[in-house]
Amino acid sequence: MKTQDKTRTVASVKAKAPSTLTLRWSDGARAELDLSALLRDKSFKALRDPAKFAAVRVGEWGHSIAWPSGAELSAETLWLETLSATRHADARSFLEWRLRHGLSLSGAADALGLSRRMVAYYSNGEKPVPRAILLACKGWEASQAA
């Protein structure tokens, strides 16, 4: 049986003033995300108004969340934030490394000498990513820059 990246979509979103979102994902995962740092960015200025922030909705097919002002956050970005919020910073670092280099499960497995299944577990936050693997990611990245 092939282990694949889970295609997560946002199932529901609810705003809590002044800058917190409660997300439920299609696979049942849940998280509360504090977006206060994001709201300091000028492109999200309109969302500093609690009424406008509260108007958040799930975007098309659950691949994003959106506000009537036109502001939008992708499910991929929100999943990375969810990993951090749920104390899976190791999985976030690993997944960011994969995404930064455009590595599939198989590509990352080949690069690190791991099974494809373990790469999927690490990418999905199902298993903790050992420090040695995170260091191997940095080493692989440095070897690509040389």
Looking at domain 89-145, its CATH class is: mainly alpha
- CATH architecture type of domain 10-74: 2-Layer Sandwich (3.30)
Extents of the domains making up the chain: 10-74, 89-145
Alpha-carbon gap, residue 30 to 112, rounded angstroms:
30
Query: Is omega for the bond preceding 50 within 30 degrees of 0, making it cis?
Result: no
Query: What pTM was computed for the model?
Result: 0.78
Q: What is the pLDDT of residues 37-89, one digit of tens each?
A: 988 999 899 999 999 999 999 999 999 999 999 999 999 899 999 998 888 99
| Residue 124: predicted pLDDT | 85
| Residue 3: predicted pLDDT | 43
pLDDT beyond 50 at 135: yes
